[in-house]
Structures are given as structure tokens and as C-alpha cells.
Amino acid sequence: MSGSIASYDQLVRQVEALKEGKSHLRREREDNSNHLSKLENETSDMKEVLKHLQGKLEQEARVMVSSGQTEVLDQLK
């Protein structure tokens, strides 16, 4: 009988350890998900900035071409 009680207590401890592990993994997954969302937002913001910069560079290049300042553009290529 004492062997079965020890086995039961051991199983209870294992179940508790598994529950703690599950909680830890759940928190870690949530943290990772939040971090991923933050990175996705930052990436999206960076893409918008790059689009804006590209537009400004293209506009500047058109101005330079129209004013005959193509040597700078040639150097950039």
C-alpha cells in the first residue's frame, strides 16, 4: 500500500511539474508572438519610410536630369 501511495504522490508531482512547464511555454509563446507582431509593425514602418525615400530620390533625379546635372547620377550608378 505504501508503494502505491508513493507512486501516486510521484504522479501528482509529475503532473504539477508538467502544468508548470505548460504555463511557462504558454507565456514564452505569448512573448514570442508579441515580439513577432512588434517586428512586423517595425518592418512595415521601415518599408513605408523606404518607399518615401525612394520617391524623393526619384524626384530629385528627375530634377537633376532636367537641369543637366547627370554626372552625379552617373557616379551613383
Residue 3 inside a domain? The answer is no
Residue 2 inside a domain? The answer is no
Task: Read off φ and ψ for residue 67, nearest 5 degrees.
Answer: -100, 5
Q: Domain of residue 25: give its range.
A: 8-75
Residue 40 inside a domain? The answer is yes
Number of structural domains found in the chain: 1
Residue 1 inside a domain? The answer is no
Structure confidence by residue, pLDDT tens digits, 5-63:
779 999 999 999 999 999 999 999 999 999 999 999 999 999 999 999 999 989 988 88
2 pLDDT band (50/70/90 cuts)? low
Is the model more confident about 5 or about 1?
5
List the grid coordinates of 34: 508579441
Q: What is the pLDDT of residue 18?
A: 98
Q: What is the pLDDT of residue 28?
A: 98
pTM of the predicted model over 0.85 = no
